[in-house]
Amino acid sequence: MAGLHYHARQTSHTGSYSLVVMELNGLPDAAVFRDALNQISARLPMVHGWTKRDFRNLAPYWHIPKSPGRANIPLTIVDASDDATADRLLSDHVNATNRPDREHLNFLFVRIADGTSRIGVVFDHRMLDAIGAETFLRLIDLTVSGQLEEYASKVKQEEPPHLDVWEKQFAGGKTVFRRMKMIGQRDVCAMAMPPAGRFGRVHFAHEHLTTAETTHFLETASEECGGMPIVLPSAAARAVYAMRAAVPNPPLPGTQHTLFTTASMRTNDQQWEQLFFNHFSFLLLTVGTEVPQSLPDLATATRDSFFDQMKEQIPQSLADAAALSRVSPRWLNQRFNYSMFKGRVCSLYFACLRDGGYKTDTFLGVPIANLYHKPLAFGPPGLNLCMTTFGGRFNLVLSYLEGVMNDTTAATLMRTFKAALLRQDVERHDAKNAK
């Protein structure tokens, strides 16, 4: 993840930071909130740690200070007149530049005039992943109810150096290299990146499905995968559908759309043990431009790509290969990845998470209206489409780098994506295309 941070710093002006937003139907007590953060800060000083590299064995590691000292987890309280202002404040919060390298969490508590509030947490992907960030919010809630020790004692603050099982890691690297080479034989359709050094803010477009709509989509996805409870390929197919509809003539044309898709490597019963660090790997789903623009065809193509890569165990191989690449210089890894895909890498980063880390419906005693992520977007391609679940419904968020896509195109993409998930208008469009 230090490699990701390095890359994100080079290709966006923020770094590997994402935002998780909690919308609350009320105002939690700010003093109680502050106190809970201080308790966690003292109990888990690793939240103030930093990455170091051991020059004897080249292994990067997370340095944990013996005590937090005077360091606190930042919490800023601001007032907003309405939801739009709150959204803008949260967007500014995650787009802050020159964030200190040892700051991995930063909270913004927005009190809205109508009595509701929003909590935005900027988190560093070197220390937490999306599920970990939600779990950290849950830890705050448990701290207030006096259960910090019970849960903090389960949290693992160390990761092995991964400087063993070299054969497995090389085998993983070989599998991934073969797959990347295969994908790299065809040009990837992508958006053009702004000139180097001119990276702007990350913008966000947000939609959500209702509980009934989410259930409807899950049933459709299952049907498309032969009745099996598999969602990812169907969701990815709709992302490709929306991308093609919103950007019919991509600035960097190619013969395939490639989705860099997150794959959770967590084990179900270890939510607390795996609170820190990143437990995601990736799949590289591909859909050729020759596949017709119809949902059944795209769903079949993404499903086949998904099954092929699962048979090859790409997520595990990539995790192994990543452990291997930790000892090589970051600039070298970056150059290697660029050269494989001729500088394009993928058309879109995509995530579809059906499971979250926050499974109760209150925070500090206040009911939660919604919880969603505004993820990082670095280049290439400067686009990240993320589906997360809270309260049995999907939130859909597109993050896009300024200069990569304009607001109108982003809105079209999101509208089409949502319609495709619900199959609204899409069947009519497919029928029109067939004529």
Partner 1 sequence: MTVDDIQQILINEIQTLLALKPGSVTAETALPTLGIDSLKFVSLVLAIEKQCNVHLMKKGLKPADMATALAMATAIHARQAE
We find the least distance from the C-beta atom of residue 230 to partner 1, in angstroms, to be 4
259 in contact with partner 1 (CB under 8 A): no
Q: How many residues bind partner 1 (CB under 8 A)?
A: 23
We find the least distance from the C-beta atom of residue 261 to partner 1, in angstroms, to be 10
CA–CA separation, 250 and 243 (whole Å) = 9
Q: Which stretch binds partner 1 (CB under 8 A): 16-24, 69-77, 226-234, 362-370?
A: 226-234
We find the least distance from the C-beta atom of residue 110 to partner 1, in angstroms, to be 32
392 in contact with partner 1 (CB under 8 A): no
170 in contact with partner 1 (CB under 8 A): no
Q: Residue 62 or 306: which CB sits closer to partner 1?
A: 306
We find the least distance from the C-beta atom of residue 280 to partner 1, in angstroms, to be 11
94 in contact with partner 1 (CB under 8 A): no
- Residues between 306 and 345 that touch partner 1 (CB under 8 A): 306-307, 310-311, 315
- Residues between 184 and 223 that touch partner 1 (CB under 8 A): 222
Contact letters (x/-) for partner 1, 344-363, by CB under 8 A? --------x-xx--------
- Residues between 277 and 306 that touch partner 1 (CB under 8 A): 306
248 in contact with partner 1 (CB under 8 A): no
We find the least distance from the C-beta atom of residue 370 to partner 1, in angstroms, to be 22
264 in contact with partner 1 (CB under 8 A): yes
We find the least distance from the C-beta atom of residue 232 to partner 1, in angstroms, to be 4
229 in contact with partner 1 (CB under 8 A): yes
Q: Which residues bind partner 1 (CB under 8 A)?
A: 222, 226-233, 263-264, 267-270, 306-307, 310-311, 315, 352, 354-355
